Amino acid sequence: MPTTSTNPHLPFGENKNAEWYGKDILSVKQFTRADLEYVFGVAHEMRGMVERVGTFDLLKGKILANLFYEPSTRTSSSFTAAMERLGGSVIPISEVKYSSVSKGESLPDTIRTLECYADVIVLRHPETGSAAIAAKAAKKPIINAGDGVGEHPTQALLDAFTIMEELGRLENLTVTMLGDLKYGRTVHSLARLLSQFNGIKLNYVSPDILKMPKEVMEEVGAKGVPQAEFSSLEKVLPETDILYVTRVQKERFEDPADYETVKGAYVIDPEIMKAAKQEMAVMHPLPRVGEISTDFDEDPRAAYFRQMEYGLYVRMALLAMVLGKA
């Protein structure tokens, strides 16, 4: 039985009856509004505890396997930091070419092997649907850290948490998504997640070949969310509460010539941002490759590095939840 705690989010025992204990996190579609409020409540607790004591032993004795088939700085590092802040340990596999994958081992076999050693597995993989394949093979929780051009649920959760922290609400917002909306799994997940909230309006600004996928727009539209597509930022910037900028992902293009036609299509700088509200936020999942000028970094509206910090607290919350500690 879990030890009684005065903290509503952080029991000190392992609660196998907790709603998220042992569950996979594969898609934002799993999360209701009540779930989101709970995640954000736990994340707030995590933030406070990190600020007060730095690290603590909530997940002492637990092991995370970080399995990344694609390069990552923020997601991989933040999950490592999250687990270590919580007192747990990490098995890092960020260079699969040095693992048995290079010998032809299948994803299910790799997952079955790692769960012999770890309590939870974080997976990034270049193929859409790979997280679901891993979850089917696993008995331990799988957390999707990006499956090709599919979803990136933990990024969407930290993005929503960022919006809440920066603007104090997740309702009655105009959110403009800019750049690579076709291959950008972060915007696919965020659009789906935001569609749960009242008063959301979504603007999509992109080159013609990088438009938001129709299936995402149809899914969001079915919930009654107004959506509009543009090729220029100029028309929608003045009404924007959240400007979510994305990198044009060279690695996703089959034809390099297509990439050359759209790279540098949009650049956010202090001059352009004169047309924006003073009370708004600019976000980016990072890395950036020129789409936001470094000259804008000191502007109070530049939230992208704070966004990365918020991600630590959200991922701490998710690890605690699936391991029965929140």
Domain 153-308 maps to which CATH number in 3.40.50.300, 3.40.710.10, 3.30.360.10, 3.40.50.1370? 3.40.50.1370
Residues 71-97, mean pLDDT to the nearest whole number:
92
Domains 28-151+311-322 and 153-308 share a fold: yes
pLDDT for the residue numbered 271: 97
Alpha carbon distance 45, 61 (integer Å):
21
pLDDT for the residue numbered 4: 42
Q: Is the pLDDT of residue 104 over 80?
A: no
Alpha carbon distance 57, 18 (integer Å):
19
pLDDT for the residue numbered 8: 54
Asked whether 3 and 324 are in contact (CB, 8 A), the reply is: no
Provide φ and ψ at 190, rounded to 5°.
Answer: -65, -40
Q: Would you kindly state where each structural domain of the chain is located, as residue ranges? A: 28-151+311-322, 153-308
pLDDT for the residue numbered 234: 95
Encoding tokens for residue 43?
Answer: 């994340």
Q: For the whole prediction, is pTM greater than 0.95?
A: no
User: What's 28-151+311-322's CATH class?
Assistant: alpha beta
pLDDT tens-digit series, residues 140-162: 999 999 998 888 999 999 999 99
The separation between the first and the last C-alpha atoms of the chain, rounded to the nearest angstrom, is: 14
Q: Is the dihedral of CA 148, 154, 157, 163 positive or negative?
A: negative
Q: Is the pLDDT of residue 102 over 80?
A: no
pLDDT for the residue numbered 17: 85
pLDDT tens-digit series, residues 1-45: 344 444 555 555 678 888 999 999 999 999 999 999 999 999 999
pLDDT for the residue numbered 252: 52
pLDDT for the residue numbered 259: 55
pLDDT tens-digit series, residues 247-305: 886 555 566 666 566 666 789 999 999 999 999 999 999 999 889 999 999 999 999 99
